[in-house]
Structure 1
């Protein structure tokens, strides 16, 4: 069993939380993981790692190079970061290094390569990021969340292991009545498990495009026996509250939640973005989704993620540039005509689920380590 694994988490939550899930799985096995974190969210991420009992170190950021001046600055910062990473890696003495993507991971990855430490990478989207495509030249294996649409650019072996998710997500077994009861108890709502519940959220970025259209689409429904839980994102409560103020159906708006497993379990339809973690979670809970890819995602990777999920029959993709109140309203109306039919379609998503991705990634590393 691998004992000392360094996991380089990149700069965003989409890189950090899957890395934290892998670290938690290794720690639960008796191993000693360590995280490298960087970027603007290090305080929040460090706190989350500490709560799980995971060691971490903060490394200097290396943002995406833009323009000639930006590229020159990036090279200087990269060289400094490689020296910094070498020192920190030497102190930890890992048996392997796993990078979770982004340009922030380049320096630790290259330092590990120079030190002769086996390098592995994980990508959280159907379209592989540029940093991981570059690092695949030096990697033993690339672990993927979904089948890649650009596999021709990968220079090492690759395996679809799935997207690591939190243990609470992977192991949740709540029936809808129980989940609705928990929500009512904690939020002071009076939702009924006998009527459809629509869950709406925009993810860590880009909630605004969804928030602007959804309330009006709901208010256009002739059948108002549905109920809505809308997770609106930080700073959006007041505006969204005004948008829902004259609604006659039951609804609840919250800014965020650390218990998405409860909301997934209670819902019958999900309207959301299509980030890698979201798609992986939809598959685990086998939910039908109206997927609205975040249009500013790098290389439009959320559109590829949505295509992957919809290929199972468990979702509909609507590009934001094509999203109108009328189109969204008609899609919701179609759902309300036969929620049971949508539940059957949602169940098709379960075929894509990989709830034990963290374990599979660790096993992949261990198997290749033994072969060295």
Structure 2
């Protein structure tokens, strides 16, 4: 099997593709998998995952017509010429496009060479690249059932492929690994991601209001930039606090962190929500306000509408508001159970296997 994957920019357009790449190589040890992307996050993450990476020129299209739009079209045209060369040399049996503007030149080149294209759209609102290329795609794999309506006759609801092992966490192991208290309600706060400064600040501002919350534990991934400030905030709580606050710059063992958590506070990126819903964790979601076309707000609303989350818009986020939302859930195990069930209705823990089957079908149908 020879498979080309293209996409990038944000984690939602990278990590699902890497999960598929790993699944392909596990199922087909002789498979050749190559990734074509831009100069953003994918240029660092993909090679670290052991996948061969080739850079292509690409640029996002501005929403307004002007000089920048013309420049972007020219850059992407050059990128398409580069992609034509890559495709002719690599000769893949199929191309998986994971979204982001880095996927556009490769998708255009694949269409010109009549190489079958499988699109994957993780968000509730399809991105521009997906919308532009969908009419020529062999199939469009979507992360959410509601998204399928955008692609009649071509959509397959797969879910968002998950990183290996993320569903295999063990609560007791997580409690030991992170030095948590096993008898407390644990709120896992994911504030270390891109654009999560507001969540970090709100958590720190919430600590005084939560200080006397005996039985509650905040496990806070801060990111490197906020680690020192979080340490100072923890020290200010003092010995008499009922709240237990544990902060780490980065959590590598996310499976055990999720397993130890009773609720999650996070942004509403597609990958994070795929993990949260597959695990059935109640969530407090704060959509990133600057995501393209407000797609994180749409992602969050889908989970909230299913009963799996409380959504707080970034403009409404304060320490007091977050503290109250955490306390409301921490004190109400019955509500958390209902929310967990609602979350699971959107979860698709077999998404990677379903995507692998689609890739195999595409490649098999086209002689790969």
Give the match for residue 265 of structure 2: 271
Aligned residues: 358
**Correspondence for 1:41:** 41
Question: Alpha carbons of 1:62 and 1:130: their partners in 2 closer, same or farther (altered >3 Å)?
Answer: same
CA deviation after TM superposition for structure 1 residue 162, in Å: 0.4
Picking from 155, 173, 179, the partner of 1:178 is 173
Q: What root-mean-square deviation, in Å, do the aligned CA atoms of Structure 1 and Structure 2 show?
A: 2.0
Which residues of 2 match residues 112-131 of structure 1 at below 5 A?
112-131=110-129
1:32 is aligned to 32
Aligned-residue offset at 1:367: 3.2
Q: Is the 8 A contact 1:196 1:339 kept in 2?
A: no
When residues 173 and 259 of structure 1 are mapped into structure 2, their CA distance, relative to the original with a 3 A threshold, is closer
CA distance in 2, matches of 1:25, 1:90: 25
Q: Distance in 2 between matches of 1:208 and 1:35?
A: 31
- Determine the structure 2 residue equivalent to 1:165: 162
Matched residue SS, 2:89: helix
Checking the alignment, whether the CA contact within 8 Å between 1:269 and 1:289 is kept in structure 2 is yes
Alpha carbons of structure 1 residues 80 and 295: separation in structure 2 relative to 1, 3 Å: same
* Residue 201 (structure 2) aligned to one of 196, 203, 212: 212
1:196 pairs with 2:174: no
3-state secondary structure, aligned to 2:14: helix
CA distance in structure 2 between the aligned counterparts of 1:370 and 1:238, rounded to whole angstroms: 53
Task: List alignment gaps of at least 5 residues for structure 1.
Answer: 185-190
Q: What are the Cα deviations for residues 113-163 of structure 1, in whole angstroms up to 9, with x where unaligned?
A: 1111011100110111111001102111110111345834x3761111000
2:329 is matched with which residue: 328, 335, 346? 335
**Cα distance, 1:13 vs structure 2:** 2.3
The answer to which of 289-298 and 140-149 deviates more is 140-149
Distance 1:46 1:366 in 2: 22
| TM-score normalised to structure 1 length | 0.90
Contact residue 230 and residue 253 of structure 1 kept, 8 A: yes
Q: Distance in 2 between matches of 1:67 and 1:242?
A: 48
Q: Secondary structure at the match of 2:145?
A: coil
Corresponding residue of 2:314 = 320
Q: Secondary structure at the match of 2:160?
A: coil
Which residue in 2 is equivalent to 1:238?
A: 228
Distance 2:313 2:248 in 1: 25
Q: Would the aligned equivalents of 2:274 and 2:347 in 1 still touch at CA under 8 Å?
A: yes
Q: In the alignment, is the contact (CA less than 8 A) between 1:128 and 1:148 conserved in 2?
A: no
Q: Distance in 1 between matches of 2:363 and 2:40?
A: 33
Deviates more, 1:108-117 or 1:216-225: 216-225
User: Aligned-pair distance for 1:370?
Assistant: 5.0
Q: Secondary structure at the match of 2:194?
A: coil
- The answer (yes or no) to whether the contact 1:124–1:146 under 8 Å persists in 2 is yes
Q: SS at 2:236's partner residue?
A: coil
With the length of structure 2 as denominator, give the TM-score of the two structures. Answer: 0.91
- 1:182 & 1:195 partners in 2: Cα distance? 16
What does residue range 75-90 of structure 1 map to in structure 2 within 5 Å?
A: 75-90=73-88
